[in-house]
Amino acid sequence: MKVLVIEDNPSSMLVAKSILESQGHLVLTAFDAKLGMSLAKSEHPNLIIMDLELPDVDGFEATRTLKADQQTAHIPVMALTACAMPEDKKKAVLAGCDSYLSKPFRLEPFLAQVNGFEP
């Protein structure tokens, strides 16, 4: 499965990328939302893992933009974020995120969510 990880924290990016690649996934990476949205359009990933706190455009707005675009609306977005309050999860769902996992995360729930999006 082709997975796009949009994450501005290098350590978090490395962890997610390493786990996904160890499971056989092809991983594309973007350290900001603008690059991530561009990659989503050009590379057509099967899943987008979206940090919600990004430096340029936040993950909520990036998800709304992706879900409003015919080219990317069908791509599931999994929020992976340090925003761990109940209202953050609700806000992520309202923005169009298909699932939500807060950081720090445990391996099993992370993989269960990712594997739930297998085509």
| pLDDT tens digits, one per residue of 21-60 | 999 999 999 999 999 999 999 999 999 999 999 988 999 9
Average pLDDT, the chain: 94
Helix (H) or strand (E) run with residue 39 in it: helix 33-43
Among positive and negative, which fits the CA dihedral 89, 91, 93, 97? negative
Helix 59-68 to helix 86-95 angle (10° resolution) is 30
CATH number, span 19-115: 3.40.50.2300
Q: What is the pLDDT of residues 23-34, one digit of tens each?
A: 999 999 999 999
Burial of 95-115, coded b for 16+ CB within 10 Å and e otherwise, reads bbbbbbbbbebeeeebeebbe
pLDDT at residue 71 greater than cutoff 80 = yes
